[in-house]
Amino acid sequence: MVSKSKKPHFGHESMHTHSQSVEAAVVEQSKATAESILSSKGHDVISVRPTDTIHKVTEVMKEHGIGSVLVKDQNGHMVGILTERDIVRGFADEPDDTFDETAADLMTKEVITATPDTPLLDLLRSMSEGRFRHIPVLDGEHIAGLISIGDVVKFRLRELEYEALKLKQMIVG
Ligand code: AMP
Q: Percent of the chain, pLDDT > 70?
A: 83
Query: Higher pLDDT residue, 4 or 77?
Result: 77
Ligand 1 pocket: which of 134, 149, 151, 152 to mutate (most atoms <8 Å of CB)? 134
Q: How confident is the model at residue 31 (pLDDT cuts 50, 70, 90)?
A: confident
**Rounded distance from Cα 148 to ligand 1 centre (Å):** 10
Sequence-separated (6 or more) residues with CB below 8 Å from residue 24: 16, 121
Residue 5 beta carbon below 6 angstroms from any ligand 1 atom? no
Instruction: Give tens-digit pLDDT for 80-103.
Output: 999 999 999 999 999 999 999 999
> Domains of the chain (ranges plus CATH)?
31-172 (3.10.580.10)
Q: Which atom of ligand 1 is nearest to the CA of 67?
A: 4
